[in-house]
Amino acid sequence: MSRKHTPGIAKIGEDPNQLANIRQATAEWQNNTNPFATLACRLATTLVLEEQIALFTETLQVLVPFDQLTYRHQIGKQEMILRHGMGGPHRCEYRLTLQGESYGAMTISRRQRFAEEELTAIEQMLAVAISHIRNACQYAAIEQTALTDALTAIPNKRALDEALTKACSIAERHCEDYTLILCDLDHFKQVNDNHGHIIGDHLLRACAKAIELAVRNSDALFRFGGEEFAVVLPHTSERDAQIVAERIRERVAEIKVNCGESDLAVTISAGIATRQRAETPEQWTARADEALYRAKKAGRNRTRIANRIG
């Protein structure tokens, strides 16, 4: 049996000087007080855009004092505005681009004018940060795609589950009213059976748009099933949610889809549940679903409010 040996190449850990050099380099990197190196090290710890902008703000503040930093970017349908501090009359603005792609805009302001050296330092800090910000933007876009329904372009069931969990946490902590509306298109199976899935898909997109126009900017719309939609309404009582649900019914009833010789119309039923104390997302959803079932059983094209427990 022959044994192959490559001279001059030591195994990892055999050279004590090599290990010492690694330890020294690691210590120097971790303890580096240079703000540019610090920024690069900190930004590499997260892919969350909000956290990156906060880390950039903290690190830049050490080098160039300022009163306010604002970051704006549009990722898909989501407009992000991240603001730290209170502004002043003097400002500098930067468009963040890399390889021809835009990754938002940043505005930095304060009460005193910026010196040229300070502007240069800000630009150098942005040069360090831009690739990290790009990665975070791309990650946010991927996350948004995973949470978006491909047909209607509104958030999907996974997004709804996350929204309900978050709403329960906030409601429990701050004793605030959160109300859930579950909606279901009436006799939608007949639409697919009689007119085909192309017309059915067109109708679903039209319904999503109609519901979106019927709810408020603070409300969140989701598609969580085939012909089922949900709306989460923060700071909203049952009575106010009922007004929104009726507006949804009216908007959907106005939809007309041309099918050649005739126009296709549709109605929608709704169930409403305001979250109760200590209620889990599953329990909350179940009560709204029970109210929706009663609306269907009562003849459809109507709204019912969930029974309270306890």
Give the C-alpha separation, 272 to 301, whole Å.
14
pLDDT, residue 10, reads 47
For the whole model, what pTM was predicted? 0.73
Note whether 79 and 105 are within 8 A (CB). Answer: no
Neighbours of 117 (CB within 10 A): 9
pLDDT tier, 21 (very low <50, low <70, confident <90, very high otherwise): confident
What distance in Å separates the CA atoms of residue 183 and residue 2, rounded to the nearest whole number? 75
172 is known as an active-site residue:
no
Distance CA 152, CA 150 (A): 6
Domains assigned to the chain: 16-146 (3.30.450.40), 157-305 (3.30.70.270)
Residue from 162, 212, 227, 228 carrying the catalytic annotation: 227
Q: How far apart are CA 211 and CA 222, in angstroms?
A: 10
- The stretch 274-282 carries a mean pLDDT of 95
Q: Which long-range contacts (CB under 8 A, 24 or more apart) does 143-146 make?
A: 144/75, 144/76, 144/77, 144/78, 145/76
* Mean pLDDT within 103-129: 96
* 264 bridge partner residues: 257
Would you state the pLDDT for residue 29?
Answer: 60
**Cα atoms in the Cβ-side hemisphere of radius 13 Å centred on 294:** 14
Q: Tell me the average pLDDT of the chain.
A: 90
Q: What angle do CA 208, 213, 218 make, to 5 degrees?
A: 105
